[in-house]
Amino acid sequence: MMTATGRTETSDRDRVLAAASHLFYSRGIQAVGMDAVRAEAGVPLKRIYANFPSKQDLLLAVLHHQGDLWRRSLEAAIEAASTPREKLLAVYDFLREWFQEDNFRGCAFINAFGELGAVAPDVADTVLVQKHEFRQRVSELVAELGGPAELGPQLALLAEGAQTTAAIDRSPAAADVARAAAAMLIDAAGHA
Look up the CATH number of the domain holding residue 132: 1.10.357.10
| 107 shares its domain with 134 | yes
Structural domains in the chain (count): 2
- How many CB atoms lie under 10 A from the CB of residue 131? 16
Query: What percent of the chain stands above pLDDT 90?
Result: 93
| 25 shares its domain with 107 | no
pTM of the model: 0.89
In a domain, residue 3? The reply is: no
CB-based contacts of 81, cutoff 8 Å, min separation 6: 87, 89, 90
Whose CA is closest to 43, among 72, 78, 16? 16
CB 22 within 8 A of CB 43: no
| 39 shares its domain with 88 | no
| 76 shares its domain with 160 | yes
pLDDT tens, 3-22? 444 434 579 999 999 999 99
Which residues constitute the domain of residue 49? 9-53
